[in-house]
Amino acid sequence: MSIVVTGATGHLGRLVVTQLLERVPAGRITAVVRDEARAADLAARGVRLAVADYNVPETFDHLFSPGDKVLLISGNEFDKGRVAQHRVVVDAARSAGVALLAYTSAPASLTAALADDHRGTERVIRDSGLPHVLLRNGWYHEVYTENLAPVLAHNAVVAAAGDGRIASAARADYAAAAVAVLTGEGHEGKAYELFGDTAWSMAEYAAELSRATGREIGYTNVTPDALTSILTGAGLPEPFAAMLAGVDVSIGKGELAGGSTELSRLAGRPTTPLAEAVAKGVAAALKD
């Protein structure tokens, strides 16, 4: 029996595999990757690699074994039909008779278009009859702290979130919750609403950036259409830019404000404070 992690060289997947290595023997872990070269460090630690692609269904043939626990990390190719991609993994898991399928979904409270593929995938999973658990991850700190160059260039946080609050957490926190589910028992049939312990507003985020940089950084609230234009001008495809602006609208409505403590409970520790993520992001941005 293996613990199988798809998307294992992505930001979240790599953290899951790394944390699994602290809990179980490397030989029990299978990392599903598209490019073996990117996972050479994991292979060197004894992790089994399996090469497969959501867009090539036959690559998942015979990848899983009866009794495996599988973490399906949602794809990030928004233009390629993510529900169909995820169905490939679900079908392969059902054919193999895996013991558990965990899926990284979105909070039930989120109505933005970004959540549509997650809702569709949840239906596919439920209809499959597989033993499953839904990890409904909230927003990541890193959405904001990993690309601070534009913010620091203009000394401004620009968003369309109004005064809405965001109970985000670090990717490592969500990885810890996934590891707890994959290595524990009693999670079958659960849908965990996962949020950071403390919610914050964009104005508070700007203030935290000001403290970390010693600069005066303010928050400018714009309309969703204006934000879409700004993001498109920065090089994002228009449909993706509009999707991100839609998330801001949801934030403004309070849909990512959290309230659940399931993330810190599963992780076994408090979630990472925003200030810690901001300090790390600022240090990296200024170093570059």
Q: In terms of CATH, what superfamily is 140-168+195-258+269-288?
A: UDP-galactose 4-epimerase, domain 1 (3.90.25.10)
Burial class, 55, CB count within 10 angstroms (exposed 0-12 / middle 13-18 / buried 19+)? middle
Strands 200-201 and 3-5: unpaired
Instruction: Name the amino acid, one letter, at 158.
Output: V
Per-residue pLDDT tens listing for the chain (288 residues): 799 999 999 999 999 999 999 999 999 999 999 999 999 999 999 999 999 999 999 999 999 999 999 999 998 776 668 999 999 999 999 999 999 999 999 999 999 999 999 999 999 999 999 999 999 999 999 999 998 999 999 999 999 999 999 999 999 999 999 999 999 999 999 999 999 999 999 999 999 999 999 999 999 999 999 999 999 998 989 999 999 999 999 999 999 999 999 999 999 999 999 999 999 999 999 886
In the chain, CATH 3.40.50.720 sits at: 3-137
In the chain, CATH 3.90.25.10 sits at: 140-168+195-258+269-288
Which residues, 6+ apart, have CB-to-CB distance to 216 below 8 Å?
155, 210
Q: Which CATH architecture has domain 3-137?
A: 3-Layer(aba) Sandwich (3.40)
pLDDT score, position 3 = 98
Tell me the pLDDT tens digit for each residue of 221-280.
999 999 999 999 989 899 999 999 999 999 999 999 999 999 999 999 999 999 999 999
Whole-angstrom distance, CA of residue 250 vs CA of residue 111: 7
Which residues, 6+ apart, have CB-to-CB distance to 245 below 8 Å?
160, 224, 225, 227, 228, 231
- Residue keyed to tokens 């309070």: 254
Whole-angstrom distance, CA of residue 43 vs CA of residue 33: 11
Q: What are the helix (H) ranges across the chain?
A: 11-20, 40-44, 82-96, 116-128, 142-145, 149-154, 171-183, 202-213, 224-233, 238-252, 262-267, 274-287
pLDDT score, position 80 = 65
3-state secondary structure of 225: helix
Burial class, 117, CB count within 10 angstroms (exposed 0-12 / middle 13-18 / buried 19+)? buried
Cβ-contact 104, 72 below 8 angstroms? yes
**Residue 48: in which H helix or E strand, if any?**
strand 48-51
pLDDT score, position 60 = 96
